[in-house]
Amino acid sequence: MKLLITGAAGFIGSNFSYHWHANNPQDELVLLDALTYAGHRHTIEPLLNERVRFVHLDITQREEIFAMFVRERFDAVVNFAAESMVDRSIEQPDIFLRSNILGTQVLMDACRAHGNVRFHQVSTDEVYGDLPLDRPDLFFTEATPIHASNPYSASKAGADLLCLAYHRTFNLPVTISHCSNNYGPYQLPEKLIPKMILRALNNEPLPVFGNGANVRDWLHVDDHCRAIALILQQGRLGEIYNVGGHNERDNLTVVKTILAALEKPETLIEFVTDRAGHDLRYAIDPAKIHAELGWLPAIGFDQGIADTINWYVENQAWWGRLT
């Protein structure tokens, strides 16, 4: 198989690239990334060889994308390329619409024009909006209505709907995955867990939105990569699969867990003005992917967060280049 992985120098894309290559070393991989603030070539440099190549390109560059498809003759595309930071989307919505919706359209048009190439869209549970804090019995399912809360989640929801429309209208072989909050190696310090780890290591204040009660369902990136690989290989075309960790924690608990692991005082916590439109709770029911593909998360949060903290402690050479 020849696989195009877009957004391959970012957090989840790079982890998936390592995962796929380790499990399918005979496959050819083209790792594409625009190398914005979120993508860094040194993350994937150890992977590159005669069968794993890097292409520096933005997915919105239609002519260049189409020319690449002519040269490469891909068998499948996994699209991680996206602007993904909620705070940035509030400040500059247009960048998110361009990359997340128009970029996805360009890729699918190229897939249609060059053999109806298999296409998987990596999306987010944030397209469903949020759940109330006082209803722990409620979960997002694939039937949950779209109810995006911010420009980022709205742009991802738009891309998802476009994918489903391309499947129905053009019979493009598409699948979509909605994942909960990922954590693990190679995540940028702007995200909650790595930000708190690095600030704690430097004895700096740890800013927590509001009162820290917002709840997220934490999914280790390795579990997410396993799920995407299964969906790409065995998923039903035209379907959405929710990928959740069953590891709900409120933000304040996550921050305190990090401080305790690093033996830092909780006095470093600094409560700050809440984010505009801050979603209260995310929680995914992964029953569909479990029933159809046999997937369940293998890494519990306690083990996953300990491993992640250790990774950042031991890999200053990676994150030091970003900060």
Query: Tokens at residue 270, please?
Result: 């600094």
Q: What is the 3-state secondary structure (H, E, C) of 277-309?
A: CCCCECCECCHHHHHHHCCCCCCCHHHHHHHHH
Backbone angles phi, psi at 105, to 5 degrees: -60, -45
Q: Which residues contact 110 (CB under 8 A, 6 or more apart)?
A: 65, 66, 68, 69, 117
Among this protein's residues, is 152 annotated catalytic?
yes
* Selected catalytic residue, list 83, 125, 217, 222: 125
Helix 251-261 vs helix 192-201: crossing angle, to nearest 10: 40
Q: Which residues contact 49 (CB under 8 A, 6 or more apart)?
A: none
* Selected catalytic residue, list 83, 126, 130, 217: 126
CB neighbours of residue 23 within 10 Å: 11
* Selected catalytic residue, list 18, 128, 152, 241: 152
**Which of 209, 142, 135 lies closest to 179 in space, CA to CA?**
142
CA distance 98 to 23: 33
Residue matched to tokens 């048009």: 109
Query: Tokens at residue 68, please?
Result: 């690449």
Among this protein's residues, is 126 annotated catalytic?
yes
CA distance 216 to 249: 6
Across-strand partners of 28? 2
Query: Tokens at residue 57, please?
Result: 């390109």
Query: Tokens at residue 54, please?
Result: 């890097």
Q: What is the dihedral of CA 157, 239, 16, 170, to 10 degrees?
A: -80
CA distance 15 to 8: 8
Across-strand partners of 76? 3, 118
The residues that are catalytic are: 125-126, 152
